[in-house]
Amino acid sequence: MTTAHLPAVVPAVPAVSAALSADAVPSVAELSIWPASTSRLGNGDLAVSGVPLGEIADRFGTPAYVIDESEVRERCRTYRNAFPEAEVLYAAKAFLCRAMAHWIEDEGLGLDVCSAGELELAVTTGFPPGRIVLHGNAKSPHDLETALRLGVGRIVIDSPSEIARLAAAVGPGGHQKVMVRVVPGIAAGGHEKIRTGTDDQKFGLSITDGYAQHAIARILDQPGLELVGLHCHLGSQITSVTPYLAAVRRMVGLLARVREQHGVVLPELDLGGGHGIAYRPGEEAMDVTTLAREVRGELIESCAAAGLTVPRLVIEPGRAIVGPAGIALYHVLAVKRTGEHTFVAVDGGMSDNPRPALYGVRYAPRLIGRHSTAEPAAVTVVGRHCEAGDVLASDIQLPGDVHPGDLLAVPAAGAYQLSMASGYNLVGRPPVIAVADGHARLLVRRESLEDICGREVSL
């Protein structure tokens, strides 16, 4: 994989000139946010891992998600090479299916899950439960029962009430390794709704008000619970190393207080994930190699100053592994000009990608499958749903002759799309197609009306 496709901090590059004709081949900057295997074809199409995207749309229909297996695997290896002494857990909430679980295990990563559903899917696929960590700010009794039944590696405690519930579920003579999710009081993340390291949100236990310290003391008093470390997660879509270094210092400070107050040296420190990717050319992404080097250095230095043994580091990338490996495909259904605005409506929308409506995420759709000599024009790509907020991409450049039947491809679409998809307007969720070595195969089939109606039991 070339440097342009690694999860690295990429300096801003000049935007592709709007004066370029739409039939110009994609520039290096344009393709920097596509999988490394992406190649140009003579008919205006793009191929990923040797498979033309137009052929995928013809074979499987649209909307559809395409996942480049080689890109997923290479990004797993990038993390393993950057963090050779750490435990790398893939954050399943970004995207999970049976094939994905297999790829992650095959590449030597563990798994971070947030529900009994994610846990059951992974374990029934053959993923070792001891390499799985269960998260959740409000775990249900079923979540905890499933985790204990399947023998999950660690459970991350997120609230005081969870301590007694988990201890009771473990029972006399039982044993479960746990961590405590700590709020370090650090603001980081691409949007206020995905910042989770501050005291004003629902996750974790605060250092500032003493809840984290109180929870640690209570856990240490439970014979069935083995406290193995501390956990924090600062947020999502973070592109700077600086917040993680601040988190290391604060978490090591708490590790030192645990040793001083309880005589216990905790062996693990989980810094979560949230490593950002580029959704459009010129955007920054997290430089994983720099992150690993600087975090390791800060951890060693902080532990030395505190007189602590360096704990084993745990990290939880999700988006940074699968996000750049995914492409969403849509067909244009309608083009409407209203006043100064041109709306290009496609056959998907917020039911298969709610992120623009939730977080204001901006994508870079591209016309594929035909050449156009028309000058680019500013358009807004919208979905088919009955919501004014059903917008996939605002004020982007597409050929001025874009019309119904055209095929649009959206890169960097692998994370938090299918996993957040809904049944709004009873539009079935799209399929997932994997591409590898010139072949395409169906991983998850399209949700049909029969699937939807099959859940109803009576009039």
Residues annotated catalytic, as ranges: 386
SS3 per-residue string spanning the chain: CCHHHCCCCCCCCCCCCCCCCCCCCCCHHHHCCCCCCCEECCCCCEEECCEEHHHHHHHHCCCEEEEEHHHHHHHHHHHHHHCCCCEEEEEHHHCCCHHHHHHHHHCCCEEEECCHHHHHHHHHHCCCHHHEEECCCCCCHHHHHHHHHHCCCEEEECCHHHHHHHHHHHCCCCCEEEEEEEECCCCCCCCHHHECCCCCCCCCEECCCCHHHHHHHHHHCCCCEEEEEEECCCECCECCCHHHHHHHHHHHHHHHHHHHHHCCCCCEEECCCCECCCCCCCCCCCCHHHHHHHHHHHHHHHHHHHCCCCCEEEECCCHHHHHHHEEEEEEEEEEEEECCEEEEEECCCCCCCCHHHHHCCCCCCEEECCCCCCCEEEEEEECCCCCCCCEEEEEEEEECCCCCCCEEEECCCCCCCHHHCCCHHHCCCCCEEEEECCEEEEEECCCCHHHHHCCCCCC
